[in-house]
Chains A and B, each alone.
Chain A
Amino acid sequence: LAKTTQPISMDSYEGQEVNITCSHNNIATNDYITWYQQFPSQGPRFIIQGYKTKVTNEVASLFIPADRKSSTLSLPRVSLSDTAVYYCLVGGYNTDKLIFGTGTRLQVFP
């Protein structure tokens, strides 16, 4: 399974766009990139998943360059409730298990 590297923490203010970048230099051809959000004392929650280029849903956008060695989770106009830990994971479409890193702790200030 490809190893991922993310910033340990990030700070932002309400209303700003937040971009969290993840490096995954040894991503395999059949690996997808998935992002999860975790609030304190809760289980991680699926945010978005993509393979290449750009994916957008009602919560976030995921940008993946052509070489797929990195990806960027974009959260538009964050609010205080977006304060959480965000995990980037890579794995095959039918990957049997997910390995979590330490994630990025996002703190949103008023």
Chain B
Amino acid sequence: DADVTQTPRNRITKTGKRIMLECSQTKGHDRMYWYRQDPGLGLRLIYYSFDVKDINKGEISDGYSVSRQAQAKFSLSLESAIPNQTALYFCATSDLDREGYTFGSGTRLTVV
């Protein structure tokens, strides 16, 4: 099983719909992150969490919300999806070690 699992892998939704992307990890890391990647561009940070009671906004948090249900689970929600939120979304985890971040395989979201 993957260390960081994202569901769904692909999703098409309509404008105005609420959608949740889920992330779970088996690394035992405290820190979790949500990134967004647009075609040909780097990753941009949406939200991050240091533990269950700690949530922080990243570079582009507007239009998104998150929930840290447990150490292993971190969900990203789009309350009212819009077409410019069409992107590839990545969840990542990290710990205070030198192994860097571990990323999930991504969720490709299309808003029509």
Q: How many chain B residues have a CB neighbour from A under 8 Å?
A: 29
What distance in Å separates the Cβ of A16 from its nearest Cβ neighbour in chain B?
25
In the assembled complex, the CB of A79 is this many whole angstroms from the nearest CB of chain B, namely 23
Majority secondary structure of chain A interface residues (helix, strand, loop or mixed): loop
Which one of A42, A46, A94, A100 contacts B99 once the chains associate, using CB atoms below 8 Å?
A: A46
Q: Is A58 an interface residue (CB 8 A)?
A: no
In residues 32-49 of chain A, which contact B (Cβ within 8 Å)?
A: 32, 34, 36, 41-46, 49
Specify which chain A residues have a CB less than 8 angstroms from the CB of B33 in the assembled complex.
97-98
Contacts of A94 in B (CB 8 A): 96
Question: Tally of A-B residue pairs with Cβ under 8 A?
Answer: 55
- Minimum CB–CB distance from B33 to chain A (whole Å) comes to 7
Q: Indicate if the CB atoms of A100 and B48 lie closer than 8 Å.
A: no
B64 neighbours in A (Cβ, 8 Å): none
Pairwise interchain contact A97-B42, C-beta atoms closer than 8 A? no
Write out, one digit per residue, whether chain A residues 69-110 have a CB within 8 A of any chain B CB (1) or not (0): 000000000000000000100000110111111110000000
CA distance A99 to B104 in the complex (A): 17
Q: Residues of A contacting B4 with CB < 8 Å? A: 43
In the complex, the chain B residue whose C-beta lies closest to that of A46 is: B100
Chain A residues touching B, range: 20 to 34
Residue B112 at the A interface, CB < 8 A?
Answer: no
- 7 A-B pairs with the lowest CB-CB distances in the bound complex, closest first: A43-B103, A46-B100, A100-B42, A100-B43, A102-B42, A43-B90, A94-B96
Interface residues of A (CB under 8 A from B): 32, 34, 36, 41-46, 49, 87, 93-94, 96-103
Which chain B residues have a beta carbon within 8 Å of chain A's beta carbons? 4, 31, 33, 35, 40-45, 48, 50, 56, 58-59, 88, 90, 92, 96, 98-106, 108
